């Protein structure tokens, strides 16, 4: 579905307001509770096949580490200008120390990040190789994580930190990748804030009463228990998710089909995809949506305005490979381009 005339008109009418909201992103203070992950990219050149086993031997060229999972949500908010307090767990390892350094360089408050020595920092290592004058391709991914829940004492410390800082922020974001940080006790502590944005891959019902949820289509299908393959099923899913979560709004992100925003008042609004031809990598795009949406709401923006700017932010980062971020300046430029295109609709 493209950008129709009615949406184009509404977008143009909202242009000045959207620009003002982007100008205010730097005023927001946000607390993010999440499954903090390091995305590690190890690349090398293929030298030969090993004599020990039928595997490639790579000559190492580069190892790069970037925030992933809930850490990507934290980093997206910081790159959009927000003052961010990060809450979560890392291991007593090189990856955990690297993540802290990345955050501190971005002026992210890391005092809510606790170290659990018996648990590794969640790390996803992608090993890629290339021959001479050929493209680099991923060969294998190695994941490091623990299936154990955080120790009760650590959970209590996180809950205490949330209680201490909850009232000093404009919003709380829960970024749940199913890695165990967001236990029932910790979730309950976050839900006392008046503006809670939830991006979870599992069991939306655990966050009943949050302000807004941002599931993608597969996550929404898992939550409702049926395929969403028609406009009628999409509408039913939105209503079912609102009942299941008791949220004010549900935003289902649908890739090239755009997004659909459902409200408890029975409203259903479609936001078309702003970029359908230059999609290279959707990794982490949901974190970007949640970040821009959150900052819009912090400035008093409507849920429709928040969805539009979240959608716009995602349209930028999917043009880049790997987990990526954007900035208010890039969003403004993209909005101006979108407005020019919409004037021709």
Q: How far apart are CA 240 and CA 209, in angstroms?
A: 14
Sequence-separated (6 or more) residues with CB below 8 Å from residue 225: none
Q: Is 287 one of the catalytic residues?
A: yes
Region class of 50: left (phi > 0), else alpha (psi between -120 and 50), else beta? beta
Tell me what pLDDT residue 323 has: 59
- Compute mean pLDDT per 10 residues along the chain, 345 residues long, and list them: 76 91 95 96 94 94 94 95 97 96 96 94 95 88 93 96 96 95 96 96 92 95 95 97 96 90 95 64 73 96 95 80 73 87 69
Sequence-separated (6 or more) residues with CB below 8 Å from residue 241: 204, 213, 215, 220, 223, 224, 247, 250, 252, 262
Tell me what pLDDT residue 280 has: 40
Q: How far apart are CA 320 and CA 278, in angstroms?
A: 9
Tell me what pLDDT residue 296 has: 97
Q: Is 281 helix (H, G, I), strand (E, B) or coil?
A: coil
Question: What are the backbone dihedrals phi and psi of residue 88, each rounded to the nearest 5 degrees, phi first?
Answer: 170, -165
pLDDT in tens, 267-306: 999 998 886 555 444 455 789 899 999 999 999 999 999 9
Q: How far apart are CA 310 and CA 216, in angstroms?
A: 13
Tell me what pLDDT residue 11 has: 86
For the structural domain made of 5-342, what CATH number should be given? 3.40.1190.20
Report pTM: 0.91
Tell me what pLDDT residue 1 has: 42
pLDDT in tens, 300-336: 999 999 999 999 998 887 766 555 677 888 888 988 8
Q: How far apart are CA 8 and CA 10, in angstroms?
A: 5
Catalytic position from the list 109, 176, 199, 287: 287
Pairing of strands 36-49, 56-69: antiparallel
> How many helices and strands in the chain, by DSSP H and E?
11, 13
Every domain of the chain and the residues it spans:
5-342
H/E run at residue 260:
strand 259-263
């Amino acid at each position: 579905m493209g950008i129709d005339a009615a949406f184009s008109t509404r977008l143009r009418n909202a242009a000045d307001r959207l620009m003002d909201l982007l100008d205010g992103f730097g005023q927001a203070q946000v607390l993010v509770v999440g499954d903090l992950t390091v995305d590690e990219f190890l690349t090398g050149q293929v030298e030969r096949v090993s004599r020990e086993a039928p595997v490639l031997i790579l000559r190492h060229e580069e190892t790069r580490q970037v925030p992933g999972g809930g850490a990507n949500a934290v980093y997206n908010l910081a790159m959009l200008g927000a003052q961010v307090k990060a809450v979560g767990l890392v291991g007593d390892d090189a990856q955990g120390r690297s993540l802290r350094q990345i955050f501190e360089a971005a002026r992210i408050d890391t005092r809510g990040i606790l170290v659990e020595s018996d648990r590794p920092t969640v790390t996803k290592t992608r090993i890629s190789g290339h021959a001479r004058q050929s493209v680099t391709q991923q060969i294998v991914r190695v994941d490091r994580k623990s299936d154990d829940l955080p120790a009760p004492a650590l959970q209590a410390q996180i809950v205490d930190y949330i209680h201490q800082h909850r009232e000093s922020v404009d919003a709380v974001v829960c970024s749940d990748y199913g890695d165990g940080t967001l236990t029932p006790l910790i979730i309950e502590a976050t839900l006392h804030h008046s503006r809670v944005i939830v991006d979870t891959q599992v069991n939306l019902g655990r966050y009943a009463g949050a302000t807004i949820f941002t599931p993608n289509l597969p996550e929404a299908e898992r939550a409702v228990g049926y395929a969403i393959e028609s406009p009628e099923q999409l509408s039913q899913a939105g209503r079912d998710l609102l009942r299941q979560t008791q949220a004010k709004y549900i935003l289902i992100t649908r890739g090239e089909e755009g997004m659909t925003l459902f409200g408890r008042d029975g409203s259903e609004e479609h936001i078309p995809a702003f970029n359908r031809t230059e999609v290279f990598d959707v990794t982490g795009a949901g974190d970007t949506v949640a970040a821009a949406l959150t900052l819009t709401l912090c400035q008093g923006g409507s849920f429709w305005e928040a969805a539009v700017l979240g959608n716009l932010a995602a349209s930028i980062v999917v043009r880049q490979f790997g987990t990526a971020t954007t900035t208010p300046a890039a969003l403004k430029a993209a909005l101006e381009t979108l407005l020019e295109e919409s004037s021709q609709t």
